[in-house]
Structure 1
Amino acid sequence: MAALRPSMQAISTEPPTPLHLAYTEKLNAYMEQAVPQESKDRQQKRIAILSDLTSTFKQWVHSVCLAKGLAQPVAEAAGGALFTSGSYRLGLNEVGMDIDAVCVAPRMVTRDDFFETLKVILEDHESIHNLVAIAGAAVPIITFDYGDINIDLMFAQLPVDSVPPTIDINADSALQGLDTGTQRSLNGPRVTNLIERLVPQFDAFRQLLRCIRLWAKRRGIYSNKMSYLGGINCNLLCAFLCQLYPKACASLLLERFFFILKDWNWPTPIMLTPPTDAGYTDTDGRMYEVWDSQGRGRYDQMPILTPAYPSMNSSLSVSQVSLEVMRSEMAIAHQRVVSILAAGASDWAPLYEPTDFWVAHSKYLAVEVYVQGAPAGLQQDLVRSWVGYTESQVKKLVDFLSYLPLAALRLMPRKLPLLSVGAAAAPPADSASAPPPCDGGSYLIGFDVDKTRMQGGELHMTNKVEAFRAELYDRAANQAIVTATTAPFLKVRFSVYGSWKELPEAVLDAGLGGIANAKAARKRVLEARRREAAAAEASGAGANGAPEVEAVAGASAAASASSGEGGAEAAPGSEAVPEEVVLAAERGEEAAVLAWLDGGGRADATYE
């Protein structure tokens, strides 16, 4: 392994002031209340679970070797090891945290064995439930709950006859001759181990990381698979900030985190150490590809590079749309942290206020994913595979929609209950022909209509939605999720809600804790927009400033929405838009339109 050095020089090596230390104490006190650490008993339970999984894995390796006709001494020497990675490995110990682990086996044991026979053993384990195997993923994985703790289990096959407990996977030479799945699986613990080595003050890093994880979750931008920040991205960004301020305490690091990243010049990559090419090859003799801004990396939106060889972009799924969402959230966060520090850091709650996504948009597109009518013994397995697969693909729908004249497009990375399908599936009281049972979940996309990009008065979404639907089923068929047997039961439905007031109560309950909180949040949104409009008018921007979006344009656009297979449709019973409101929208008088919307007016456009 090459000598490690930070990729950038430290901005400041000043030690923390007494004031910042006092602020950090208050910050840590808030975090202990907001995100409690697990008790010692719970931590011991995790250790016991990992010990049981390690023992199960080694016994399985031994049995696979015997089943393949290998001699008893060879089977006994085959060994096997289990390595953890991610936030658990970094010692966060938060309540409800999952565990990422990699099973490392010798050459005699294959990935097919892992997904065929070890999967069966895990399914039969009395403490394991909700098991889902995803063999076709970029990083093949078996995910399950062991008791009440979620485990993500990956597999690595090394070209050796024995895997002793002391095997060194941190050495770059350990990657020689590996298949892609194994190399990517080993990347998890290798990266985690390097983060620990590259961070100057580990306690400060861990404190900052806890703060950023909670912030990202509360603000609705925590999910790598949905194009936002995942655990690995938060780990790397926090480590990078700690390198820039190697002696700073958590309160200062938190302010610097948002200050630097809100204006970071993406796609300039963030890296902990310069990438190196160690020159090793995979199982086919091809050189491992190291991230390169002139190669495949030239299309990356937000490159956050892993420090382990071969360096890769950990945030490959980030899109231009999700990057803008995160930029906006970081700017808001920085303003709030500055205000909190200026007030003495006695109350950190404003930084962690829930996102106003649920009431901030003019329209919402719900994607309902469910299984209906499957045989009882197959239903839950199909729900887990179909919903889990679709969850990883919903971000592509946002990409499709980004070509439409929309603004403030945003995917909420939270699974919601079924919104319309469940109600529709309720059997009539006087009918014996009840519809088949359905089970699944929903995902919500908020958006406004950009008046400046509209061509005509109609917004057609059907082509984009149907293109996503077709791609969704095609990819699922390639992964054997959709087959001739399962296809009749796997459903996806799209519904557009014309305003936040039309969202089902279950959405507002999940997002903001009920309708009363939603109304209060909506009021704050409108007040903020009025202040922004007044500031823009005072500065001379007015109607000639920033592009008008649905908050203004929606009122006039909604009146002429078309329906069915052609695109968006005004919901039955929706009100006609008053002429004075349409005229106000055309003049760019945002305050008048916002007042009408807040008073119960609806800018409707629904599509199913």
Structure 2
Amino acid sequence: MAEPSTSSPPPSPRTPSSIHFQQEFQQQQQPAVFSLTSHDTALALVPPSSLWPRIDRLRALYDKAYPKWPPHVNLVYPFVRPDLLDEAVDRVAAALSSSFSWGSTSSPKRQIRVRLARPGVFEHGGRKNKNGNTIYLCDDEDPGQGESVCLGVLEGLRNTVLASLGQASGDYRMHLTVAQSEDVEAAPHKFLLDKVGLLPPVEWEAAELAVLVRERDGGGGSVMRLWGRIGLEDGRVERLGSLAAFYQDAKASLLGPREGEDAERDLLQSGVSYCGGEEPERWAPPFVPPKLAVASYNVLAEFEWPPSEARYPLVVRNILAENAQADVLVLQEVTDGFLSYLLSDKQIREAYPFCSHGPPHLDGIEPLPSFLNIVVLSATPFDWEYVSLNRKHKGVLVARFKRVGRTDGDKFLPVVLAAVHLTHGLADGAVASKKSDIKRIIGYLSKNYPDHPWILAGDFNATTSSISINAAVKAKAISEQSASHLASLDNLFSEARLVDAWKSTADNEADDQGVEGERGATWDPTANGMAAVMAASGGNKWPHRYDRILVRGEGFLEIADFNMFGFLTEQRPESELFASDHWGVRCTLNMSGLGESSEEPSEEISELVVPVQPEKGPEHLVVAGSVKDALVELQVIPSEADATKRKRALDLLKSVILDTTSTNAARVRSHPTIVVVPVGSYALGVWTSSSDIDVLCIGPFSSNTFFALASQRLRKASAQGIRILRRVQANTGTMLELEVDGIRFDLQYCPAASIAERWPDVLRASASDPVWSLSAQALSKLKAIRDIDYLRRSLPDLTAFRLAHRFVKTWAKARGIYSARFGFLSGIQIAILLARVQKLLARELGASPTPEALVATFFHHYARFDWSARLAFDPFFHRRRLPYSRTAREPLAILGYFPPALNTALAASVPSARTLASEFRRASEALLLRSATAATAATNPASSLTSSWSSLLSSPAAHAAEFLAAHKSYVRLDVQYWGLSRSRSGARFLGWLESRCVGLLVDLHRRAPGLHVRMWPARFVERDGESGNIVSSGASGTGGKNEEEEGITGDERDFRCCYLIGLDKGSPDMSKEDLKVAFGALQTGLARFEAQMRGDEKYFDAKSCWLSATVVNRAELGELELDSREWGEHTLGEEEFDEEDEEGEEEAASGLDSEHDEFARKENKKKKKGGSAARKQIAAVDLRADKTKKFRTAADALNRIRWDPQLDSSDYVVGYEDRFIGVQEKELGAWKSEQTDDEFIPQHRILYFRRKSDGKLVWDRRTRLDELFGNAA
């Protein structure tokens, strides 16, 4: 590495403190003199490796020492001969460990706060020289900000080191080399210096000196390796034993790319996309239209310094012009200044909220790597990678669009865009490079994205004019072989099945007299004044079709249109101003299947699909917006205020669970990965103002550990409006019912570390991916989010789907068929039924149906659906085969997408299936009847069409009243309890009863198949006709202290209600004798049900509960109405279960760390035994006084410090016994518990745990001292 000698840079003023330190050391010791002349060793400050990428992205392109050297600040270079290195390092270490301080006297620790934020230049030998000038980063030298203190401290350190080696202090300039340049007056040097100045500040706390040694290879090359480290605080020397590399692939990088080798992803230059505004919710992506427009534009860089911005406004106008509007925009020759200007435009940010690079002028954002760069802007999210080609500064930006692509079964294949800007020029080397680069690009895409749709867009710089090529051959500027290479480029594209968008849409018969290769020219000096200027200076005066868009659709993308843009100009007094020397190109693509694979379903699947016939309906019913108007009229669609409130509540819940409000940033970063995502109706965007929000957390802990920690954090956040209502044990595991800012939440957890680590990309992983090898319970929890993710990616029109879903759900609630618990419809079932209708309609019509057509077709289709014999499933997902076999016990089959259970209607019974079929027929007939009625109304057509839709959506109370009058006889389940709290014990009792109702319906149908039983999925209460009050038993509560504390009245502890099952003849031909037999069987079944319920001692206590099941006539029902009271409200002291819930099966199946479980079990026991009053403090108890108390193990203490959120693990050290050295200490964060780890130490060697902040022991094995679990006994 060509480093300036320590005497070459201009001197910096020496501080008095540094001189004092040097003199003091020299008075103490007069060492032997070491010669500092060897360029094979160095003493340097090396920043943390996490800071290297931002520096190395420029060093890799501009610093000839990369990767021979890491980013570094030399302290002494050249240093001592390698054979004297051991002795010299010991001398330096002794000096640093001496009693006096080389640093600032006010600093408690001998560390250096390094901040490099200003560019500088070392000029070597004048303006122009073959050795080049060094461009570097140095400190700010701003005394007002205090950064200049670093110079004095660093110089003091250097002088101490030099004195220890017998050398006098010399001139020194702290610097970190980034690049080299040639002429300091030339524009390239000034552009590069400006680029280095755009780097975000490089800051770190330097705690050690790195000792570097040069390692030479047999070919004359060399690389600096790490020999060891010297601690600044105590002078401790760490000798590595063998030289360590700074870069794993340093040797390969030195060799450079070999001709013919495959292109590979450049991990250093690849990055993340930036969002120009507020990033959209992950679960609220914009609707992806059935067309995709891709544009490419070479904006022509400014090559003179300072760069002129005169063309920039005109370039932006052309990009925003109507003929250039696109979903994806690829730009070439983008500079730092132009990108900053472009992304400052509000209209650009609104049109393209996502960009591959951020504006370099903003703090914290890196500059673009090269002078000329490729940048991709998009209206939809994408991620990208950089693929280096065989020349510096030449590569391909490969973008993957997260929500645009085709699906192949359960595998999502996003559209892949390769943005290119190939080598320019008509010479043998340039032509060979172009051909090689194209082969590499195609090879890379074929290897990494073989089945994905491809788009290649950009400036290919391929000469196309036959006149220009023939002239070059004649002038011997290129060989005949190069000319044949240019002609063969189209063959390369054809072999890769890439279709040229211009060729596929151009009129090949037009302009037959034109010169071959000049039609469709995007660089045309005969029409573009800017290109004419370039042609005059370069001699290339013929038009060429440099810019292209090529597509390999894979049955998903189809070229629909092609056009050029960039024709807007500006009249100047001296001449006409053109935006660029290139015209832009744009291609419009049709996306067949609206997000689905074009592969047709297999013959097996096709036989199972029930075709959907489009139902247009009367004209007044299909008026655009009529369904939405009906929903707005009934206040079903939430307001913006509701949406904002829910988003704020969800964000608050996320921040509390993830503890993102913690002031200790290091602790937050060290937390394991936990994913918090909404599921259910909120995730799908079909929620209403009365909906709660279902939230799923995914992480590495066991369920016990997660809920223990989450409950602590949620209780601590009670002042922010968070309340834990109750903790319930559902079939799927533990669930917390919460209230956040008045919004109800259901919080569930799935222990799956591998899913959390790969989130959200794991959702695109194939079902056969080993990452899904989880327990059935874990897959069951993840199923909701996987199903919703697929729905959102595959629906042709999400807006229409949401309106239709809300309409059907509101209708189902009103008609009493929306309750999965009772075997009726659920939200996901409605989504599946709607999605298959929408997709089949879209394929049939060639476009997504309107909400009105979708709703009408939905009801008419399922009114004719044979539920007993047919399966309702999405044939666009289950395309090849259906991994499901229907059993005789499944009267209804509505199949979801992902395992473990495909059938979402397992709770359905024969009676509930019959009820659903009947209600679909009723809705279909009602639509036709009311359509005809509304069509004859001549007074107010608008009101008529709204009322036609609204008539299906009457209030649940009105339809319940209709149910009460629809049957002659009913099964009445009378329920009563007294002395129980409504929010917990009462709700638990009723929930248990409702979970048994499906079994009752199945039993009644088995005993009396001739009867049709229809249950209304809600509670009815009786109202006193005289007083108007709800009738209860009138008994008072249990009284006493508990009631007074909870503020619960006697009426709230005493509740009576009933459930009703309507009875009808299964057939009109049923005889009286058959009816009598059926009613007898019915009575027998009810008596058995009543006996079973009363015999369940776990849930039924005769001292506080009562239940009866009888058959009554309509007249005996009394004055009944729906119970409108809310259940499950918060009650003090009732957040947790009475019985212990270890969830052993779930945790054993997940294979999680038992150490986490141990902590959770102890936390739960503490809550149950000690209550909440003693939770906050950890009492110190000296267990030496009582030898009978259990002394907690070192593993217990270690886990407590690691996982207790009230303890800062970084403030503790572990004292342990080394077999050779004795008692040693180690940072707790560095302690390894895995036996396979190289640094593993058995836990029986742990002697104590000490708190660093006060030096106090909190656990000591020898004295049996335990301050961590002192209050656990």
What interval of TM-score do these two structures reach, taking the shorter chain for normalisation? 0.5 to 0.7
Match of 2:683, as an amino acid? Answer: R
Cα 1:243/1:77, change in 2 over 3 Å = same
Deviations for 1:195-233, whole angstroms, at most 9, x for unmatched residues?
112221222212211211111111110111110001111
Letter in 1 for 2:704: D
SS at match of 1:84: strand
3-state secondary structure, aligned to 2:678: strand
Asked if 1:89 is matched to 2:679, the reply is no
- 1:2 equivalent to 2:2? Answer no
Candidates 835, 840, 850, aligned match of 1:249: 850
Secondary structure at 2:908 match in 1: coil
Could you tell me which residue of structure 1 aligns to residue 861 of structure 2? 260
| Alpha-carbon separation, structure 1, partners of 2:628 and 2:1111 | 40
- Equivalent residue, structure 1, for 2:992: 389
Q: Is 1:501 aligned to residue 1101 of structure 2?
A: no
2:813 aligned partner? 217
Aligned to 2:233: none
Q: Does 2:965 match 1:359?
A: yes
Secondary structure of the residue aligned to 2:625 is helix
Structure 1 unaligned blocks of 5 or more? 63-71, 279-289, 429-433, 511-608
Q: Which amino acid aligns with 1:464?
A: G
The answer on whether the counterparts of 1:425 and 1:437 sit within 8 Å (CA) in structure 2 is no
Are 1:240 and 2:817 an aligned pair? no
Displacement of 1:117 in angstroms is: 5.4
Q: Deviations over 1:24-79 (max 9, x none)?
A: 4223211211233222222111111111221222239x9xxxxxxxxx87982303
Alignment of 1:184-583 (within 5 A): 184-246=780-842, 247-266=848-867, 267-273=869-875, 291-293=883-885, 297=887, 299-310=889-900, 312-342=902-932, 343-344=934-935, 346=945, 347-348=947-948, 349-353=950-954, 354-355=958-959, 356-374=962-980, 380-405=983-1008, 407-417=1011-1021, 423=1031, 425-427=1033-1035, 437-439=1053-1055, 441-448=1057-1064, 451=1072, 453-455=1074-1076, 459=1080, 461-469=1082-1090, 471-472=1092-1093, 477=1098, 482=1099, 487=1101, 491-496=1105-1110, 498-507=1112-1121
Q: TM-score, normalised by structure 1?
A: 0.67
Code of the aligned partner of 2:823:
S
The superposition leaves residues 288-340 of structure 1 with CA deviations (integer Å, 9 ceiling, x where unpaired) of xx85125xx45322211112355611111111100111111111110111223
Q: Which moved more, 1:395-404 or 1:210-219?
A: 395-404
Q: What is the aligned partner in structure 2 of residue 605 from structure 1?
A: none
Contact residue 1022 and residue 1118 of structure 2 kept, 8 A: no
Question: Compared with structure 1, are the counterparts of its residues 382 and 440 closer, same or farther at alpha carbon in structure 2 (3 Å cutoff)?
Answer: farther
**Which amino acid in 1 is paired with 2:874?**
L
Distance of 2:929 and 2:904 partners within structure 1: 32
Q: Would you say how many aligned residue pairs link Structure 1 and Structure 2? A: 471
Letter in 2 for 1:367: L
- Look up the match of 1:33: 633
Deviations 1:548-572 (A, max 9, x none): xxxxxxxxxxxxxxxxxxxxxxxxx
The 1:418/1:123 distance shift into structure 2, 3 A limit, reads: farther
Structure with greater helix share of residues: 1
Contact 1:123 1:131 in 2 (8 A): no
Matched residue of 1:402: which SS?
A: helix
d(CA) in 1 for partners of 2:755, 2:612: 49
Return closer, same or farther for 1:350/1:153 CA change in 2, 3 Å cut-off: same
Q: Secondary structure of 1:403's match? A: helix
CA contact (8 A) 1:175 1:183 kept: no
Task: Confirm or deny: 8 A CA contact 1:132 1:384 kept in the other structure.
Answer: no
Deviates more, 1:243-252 or 1:229-238: 243-252
Unpaired runs of 5+ residues, structure 2, are: 1-409, 413-595, 843-847, 936-943, 1025-1029, 1037-1049, 1125-1273
Q: Percent identity?
A: 21
CA contact (8 A) 2:972 2:1112 kept: no
CA contact (8 A) 1:20 1:249 kept: no
CA RMSD of aligned residues (A): 4.0
Asked if 1 retains the 8 angstrom alpha-carbon contact of 2:1018 and 2:1123, the reply is no
Q: Measured at CA, do residues 474 and 145 of structure 1 come closer, stay the same or move farther in structure 2, by a change above 3 Å?
A: farther
Q: Give the number of the structure with larger relative contact order, counting CA–CA contacts within 8 Å between residues 6 or more apart.
A: 1
2:1033 and 2:1056 in contact (8 A); partners too: no
How far off its partner does 1:133 sit?
A: 3.0
> Residue 334 of structure 1 aligns to which amino acid in structure 2?
S
Give 1:44-193 correspondences, 5 Å limit. Answer: 44-59=644-659, 76-106=670-700, 109-114=701-706, 118-119=710-711, 122=714, 125=718, 127-128=721-722, 131-138=725-732, 140-160=734-754, 163=757, 166=760, 168-171=762-765, 172=767, 173=769, 175-193=771-789
Distance 1:401 1:207, change over 3 A: same
- Mean alpha-carbon deviation: is it higher for 186-195 or for 11-20? 11-20
Quote the Cα distance in structure 2 between the aligned partners of 1:86 and 1:423: 36
Q: How do 1:6-25 residues align onto structure 2 when only pairs under 5 Å count?
A: 19=619, 22-25=622-625
Distance (whole Å) between structure 1 residues aligned to residue 860 and residue 617 of structure 2: 19
Equivalent in the alignment of 2:66: none
Secondary structure of 2:1006's counterpart equals coil
Following superposition, the deviation at residue 453 of structure 1 comes to 2.4
What amino acid is aligned across from residue 403 of structure 1 in structure 2? R
CA distance in 1, matches of 2:722, 2:994: 22
* Matched residue SS, 2:1014: strand
Q: Cα offset for 1:470?
A: 5.1
Q: Residues 322, 492 of structure 1: CA spacing in aligned structure 2 closer, same or farther, 3 A cutoff?
A: farther
